[in-house]
Amino acid sequence: MIQLFVGLGNPGNEYEATRHNVGFWWVDALARELKVNLIDERSYFGKVARAQVKGQTVWLLQPQTFMNLSGKSVGALAKFFKIPPANTLVIHDELDLPPGEAKLKFGGGHAGHNGLRDIHAQLGTPDYWRLRLGIGHPGDKSEVAGWVLRKPPADQRDLIEACVTRTLTAWPDLLDGDTTRATQKIHTSKPPRPKPPRKTDQGNAPSPLTPLPRGEGSSRAPTPLPPGEGKEV
Chain centre to alpha carbon of residue 168:
6
3-state DSSP of 173-218: HHHHCCHHHHHHHHHCCCCCCCCCCCCCCCCCCCCCCCCCCCCCHH
Task: Verify whether residue 113 is a known catalytic residue.
Answer: no
Distance CA 170, CA 185 (A): 6
Catalytic residue among 20, 92, 113, 120, which? 20
Q: DSSP assignment, residue 10?
A: -
Active site residues: 20
